[in-house]
Amino acid sequence: MSALRRHVLANGMTILLKEVWHAPICSWWMLYRVGSRDETAGMTGAAHWVEHMMFRGTERFPMGRMDGAIDRLGGIWNAQTAQDYTAYYSTLPVAHVQLALEAEADRMRNLMFLAEDVEAERRIILAERRSAANDPLFALDERMNHCAFTKHGYRHEILGNEEDLQRMDREPLWRFYRQHYVPENVIGVAVGAFESERMLAMIAQHFDAEQYAGITSASAPLPAKRLPVEPAQSSERRFNVEWDGENEFLEMAYRVPSATHEDWYALSVLASLLAGPSGPGSGNVDNRSCRLYEALVKTGRAVAIDGNLSPRCDPYLYHLTITLQHGRDLAEVEGIALAEIERMRAGEIRDDELSRAKKQTRALFAYSSEGVTGQGFWLSFAENLAGYEWFERYVQRIDAVSGEQVQRVARQYFRPEQRIIGWLRARA
Amino acid sequence: MQEYPASTSIRRVALANGAVLLAYENPASPSVVVAGSLAAGSQFERDEPAGLAHITAQGLMSAAADHDFDALHGRLEGIGADLQFSAGSHTVSFFGKALAEDLPILADALAAVLREPRFPEQEIANLRDEVLTSLHFYAQDTSWRAEEAFNRLLYPAQHPYHREVIGTLASVAQINPAHLRRFHERVYGPAELVIAVVGAVETERAIHTLRSCLDDWQPLVQERDIVPPVPVPPLASLRKERIAIPGKTQTDLVLGVAGPSRFADDYLPASLANSVLGQFGMMGRIGESVRERHGFSYYAYSRMDGGYDRGAWCVLAGVEPQWEEASLDLIRHEIDSLRSRGITAEDLADNQAYFKGRLPLQLETNDGIAATLLTMECFGLGLDYLLEYGGHIDRIRRDDVVAAMEKYWPEDEYALALAGPEPPYHENQ
């Protein structure tokens, strides 16, 4: 892996540069340190709505111009809103990366934010939410976060509550944009076939401190993150959701610390043993040799197990979603899953299991680093989380995990009073 | 710096048993991809339960040779490798991935499951129940239901695209391991097997590794079935079906026709027309109109499947139920406009640039390169296709695009399927 360089521009914008020379392309990421966790009451969905507004354009780059320009170059250009961040990215021939820098620099400060565009996006986002709501698992996930978080912004559905989406108007959205879309709140990451010095000069030229003098913290102070702290959970929580289909699902979540916590890596190994490979790139590998698959799928009670230890800036959840085989009993499946978790807490971790989880992590890491777009994502994501070293040292940290540590975190975090259980049931 | 894979850098070996191996070295990442296909799709089902090809492909990973389920999966997952199979109407496709150092383990597993699957009773019973559970779930999925209905409307009953590869609740319930064993014995063989190996492995070593696992796979004992193509007759009128699913919040619609196969002379002009219609920029003219200008949907785009036969060329959208008709009017308007007025010189130039410009990204990863090599081999495009590709695109003229639209989208002759909530609709449902 080539060396990575980190800079902070005079206006506070963080820049990461990584040279990768295998193809004449470059991925440019702009990660804003604002996501749905930063929204306040009545403003749920604001981060995602502003993301949509960013594609409505500026006077210089009106809506559609960049879509067409990037496509003409054979590139990609898109965005994603998450709980901890909002990220914009383009991957295109390196000779044209200036176009992406220009457009991103422009829309950070010059978004038109027309009232009619706000209304058009209201309709589109409501359609997006209703499209998502066609899937019963959307309701299950939404209820899970409501049940798990009473104060912290992780309670919010990223798309927003329907009522907030109906009510919110241009002004609070505009303030949200102005408050958070400032250079010192940005991590800019370039990965591709460029010389770092020249790329840095080009970035500095487009994001010059003077141009942003009016919108940096001097005039619009960026508040320190003082997000509500979630009160401790003292007993198991449960909820039920019903739907018109015949399938039934079980979702279980345990409270886990932020991904910056020293226990994170042992938890990642634990998650691998329980429900399949965990870590960057984990969507790439099947999970038919994990403990829960053995206990539930091979015995014909469930058809799929999905474990998800998602790295977050603040304490969040380890999720297990179990798809029941048609006609099976939720209580029985829950009992077996809980027994398996108890067995993990009580028993020892075998050396071969530990070695397997470590080898899996190395493979997953290799897959996640294959393209410049993926590397750009992981570097910006990690920088927001804990510094880019979090990603670069991931394999090394996993390699250092011992069986005793895995057993300890199983006992510490997978306690009954730390869990939330949701059933998605077929309506009678 | 990147050079496109070509005959000078791709190693192609045809084994005596008919299997074709392609290898390309890509040192950019320490991983390797093994991907391929063989002719074992649902069109080879005789008077057998629908869904048999699908379950057979999935069931390959149940046990093979001297590896039971646990040994097979434990061995692959233990090294962070993956191997998946899926059946289509014509072929079964597979995709495997591992660290480059583990190519021999991946190749050995692939050969074992292709050649000597065991289809044990218990694992196949579990797999059948998994498929039945999926079918129950799909019954509630608006996009799946709309597309399933669309295919039934568009293709005649004898055509393989008329039915879903996964089968039905009734047909899948009948499938047992004996069906799978007979299907495998009759259909799976090396003669129409194509495999691409791409990654941080030197090409000769990649070929040697695959060859050593597959060279002695004997061709099928009996002559394989010849499946004559089933013509797709003109629709002659609008065919429409609406499916009501209680509890849903949005309608999915599919509107379209049978498009060109990948072998058709006008495949590329039709692809370019499709790009203008519902891909380029923010989902082409359809997306610009239905989503951006009117806000009737979150997604609205067009898709052209191509492939071995005349796959669907369709517009797909998830629309607010109260705006179904308005959305359909906009979609029909864009299709009619493209057919009658064609594209501008700017449209042509934009899309030609798009088609040529996307190659570097497409070829950045092992997955992307492997998929491209397979397309070149399976559709007879030649190993130097990527070098010739720009010329093919530059030769497309505006008239070619109009001709493709007129040929495949005759006025008012299309299939339309909608799946969503039951009427009447309310503003705030």
CB-based burial of residue B237 (10 Å sphere; 0-12 exposed, 13-18 middle, 19+ buried)? Answer: exposed
pLDDT(A211) > 80: no
CA distances from B99 to A21, A398, B27, B133, B371 (A): 21, 17, 12, 33, 18
Rounded to an integer, what distance in angstroms lies between the CA atom of residue B195 and that of residue B213?
A: 12
Interface test with B, best of A27, A70, A289 (most B CBs within 10 A): A289
Instruction: Determine the pLDDT at residue B226.
Output: 82
Count of CB atoms situated within 10 Å of the CB of B52: 26
Is B226 inside a domain boundary?
A: no
Q: What is the pLDDT of residues A136-156, one digit of tens each?
A: 999 999 999 999 999 999 999
Would you tell me which CATH number, out of the four given (3.30.830.10, 3.40.50.2000, 3.40.50.2020, 3.40.50.150), belongs to the domain A237-426? 3.30.830.10
- Please check whether residues B15 and B126 belong to one and the same domain: yes
The packing angle between helices B103-115 and B203-214, to 10°, is 30
Rounded to an integer, what distance in angstroms lies between the CA atom of residue B141 and that of residue B166?
A: 15
Going B170 to B172 to B177 to B180, the CA torsion angle's sign is: positive
Contact check, Cβ <8 Å, A134/B249: yes
Instruction: Determine the pLDDT at residue B275.
Output: 98
Which residues of chain B register pLDDT less than 70? 1-2, 424-429
Contact check, Cβ <8 Å, B365/A369: no
As a whole number, mean pLDDT of residues A192-218 equals 80
Q: Dihedral through CA A180, CA A186, CA A192, CA A197, nearest 10?
A: 140
Is B221 inside a domain boundary?
A: no
Rounded to an integer, what distance in angstroms lies between the CA atom of residue B343 and that of residue B339?
A: 9
Nearest to A315 by CA among A257, A271, A265, A261: A257
Instruction: Determine the pLDDT at residue B423.
Output: 74
Tokens 């090809």 map to which residue?
B53
Q: What is the pLDDT of residues A386-409, one digit of tens each?
A: 999 999 999 999 999 999 999 999
Contact check, Cβ <8 Å, A245/B81: no
Please identify, among B214, B231, B261, the residue that sits at the C-terminal boundary of a domain: B214
- Please check whether residues B208 and B257 belong to one and the same domain: no
Nearest to A92 by CA among A74, A79, A105, A109: A74
Q: Where are the domains of chain A?
A: 4-212, 237-426
Is B134 inside a domain boundary?
A: yes
Let me know: does B371 contact B35? Beta carbons within 8 Å: yes
ipTM of the prediction? 0.91
- Please check whether residues B53 and B170 belong to one and the same domain: yes
Is B133 inside a domain boundary?
A: yes
Contact check, Cβ <8 Å, A68/B125: no
Rounded to an integer, what distance in angstroms lies between the CA atom of residue A296 and that of residue A328?
A: 11
DSSP string over A381-411: HHHHHT-THHHHTHHHHHHT--HHHHHHHHH
Q: Of B97, B354, B364, which has the smallest distance from its Cβ to A367's Cβ? A: B97
We report the CATH number of the domain holding residue B253 as 3.30.830.10
Is B222 inside a domain boundary?
A: no
Nearest to A80 by CA among A48, A104, A115: A48
Let me know: does A267 contact A311? Beta carbons within 8 Å: no
Instruction: Determine the pLDDT at residue A219.
Output: 43
Task: Establish if A93 touches chain B: CB-CB under 8 angstroms.
Answer: yes
Listed range (A63-67, A119-123, A183-187) with the worst mean pLDDT: A63-67
Q: Of B69, B320, B367, which has the smallest distance from its Cβ to A127's Cβ? A: B320
Let me know: does A363 contact A369? Beta carbons within 8 Å: no
Number of structural domains found in chain B? 2
| E strand segments, B347-401 | none
Task: Establish if B32 touches chain A: CB-CB under 8 angstroms.
Answer: no
Contact check, Cβ <8 Å, B360/A74: yes
Contact check, Cβ <8 Å, B82/A284: yes
pLDDT confidence bin for A168, thresholds 50/70/90 = very high
Structure tokens at B323: 């705006």
- Please check whether residues B207 and B248 belong to one and the same domain: no
Instruction: Determine the pLDDT at residue B292.
Output: 92
From chain A residues 291-350, the ones with a CB under 8 A of any chain B CB are 297-298, 300, 303-304, 323-326
From chain B residues 122-151, the ones with a CB under 8 A of any chain A CB are 125-126, 129-130, 132-134, 136-137, 139-142
SS3 B206: helix
The pairing of beta strand B194-199 with beta strand B31-38: antiparallel
| Phi/psi of residue A36, nearest 5 degrees | -70, -20
Contact check, Cβ <8 Å, A366/B78: no
For chain A, the average pLDDT equals 92
Instruction: Determine the pLDDT at residue B122.
Output: 94
Q: Which residue of A has its CA nearest to B353?
A: A72
pLDDT(A2) > 70: no
Question: How big is the CA angle at A358 (ends A355 and A363), to the nearest 5 degrees?
Answer: 125
Contact check, Cβ <8 Å, B298/A360: no
Task: Establish if B245 touches chain A: CB-CB under 8 angstroms.
Answer: yes
Task: Establish if B298 touches chain A: CB-CB under 8 angstroms.
Answer: yes
Is B174 inside a domain boundary?
A: yes
As a whole number, mean pLDDT of residues A265-284 equals 85
CB-based burial of residue B369 (10 Å sphere; 0-12 exposed, 13-18 middle, 19+ buried)? Answer: buried
- Please check whether residues B263 and B178 belong to one and the same domain: no
As a whole number, mean pLDDT of residues A23-31 equals 95
Q: How many beta-carbon contacts under 8 Å exist across A and B?
A: 207
- Please check whether residues B283 and B354 belong to one and the same domain: yes
Contact check, Cβ <8 Å, B133/A326: yes
Instruction: Determine the pLDDT at residue B29.
Output: 85
- Please check whether residues B401 and B272 belong to one and the same domain: yes
- Please check whether residues B56 and B133 belong to one and the same domain: yes
Q: Which residue of A has its CA nearest to B139?
A: A245
pLDDT(A284) > 60: yes
Rounded to an integer, what distance in angstroms lies between the CA atom of residue B371 and that of residue B386?
A: 13
Instruction: Determine the pLDDT at residue B429.
Output: 33
Tokens 């076939």 map to which residue?
A193
Going B310 to B315 to B318 to B324, the CA torsion angle's sign is: negative
Is B93 inside a domain boundary?
A: yes
Q: What is the pLDDT of residues B3-28, one digit of tens each?
A: 899 999 999 999 999 999 999 999 98
Task: Establish if A120 touches chain B: CB-CB under 8 angstroms.
Answer: yes
Contact check, Cβ <8 Å, B2/A75: no
- Please check whether residues B288 and B209 belong to one and the same domain: no
The pairing of beta strand A86-93 with beta strand A25-32: antiparallel
Contact check, Cβ <8 Å, B295/A289: no
Contact check, Cβ <8 Å, B31/A286: no
Would you tell me which CATH number, out of the four given (3.40.50.1220, 1.10.3720.10, 1.20.1290.10, 3.30.830.10), belongs to the domain A4-212? 3.30.830.10
Is B3 inside a domain boundary?
A: no
Q: What is the pLDDT of residues A217-260, one digit of tens each?
A: 444 445 567 889 999 999 999 999 999 999 999 999 999 999 99
Task: Establish if A426 touches chain B: CB-CB under 8 angstroms.
Answer: no
| Phi/psi of residue B149, nearest 5 degrees | -65, -40
- Please check whether residues B272 and B190 belong to one and the same domain: no
SS3 A212: helix
Full residue range of the structural domain in which residue B288 is found: 239-420
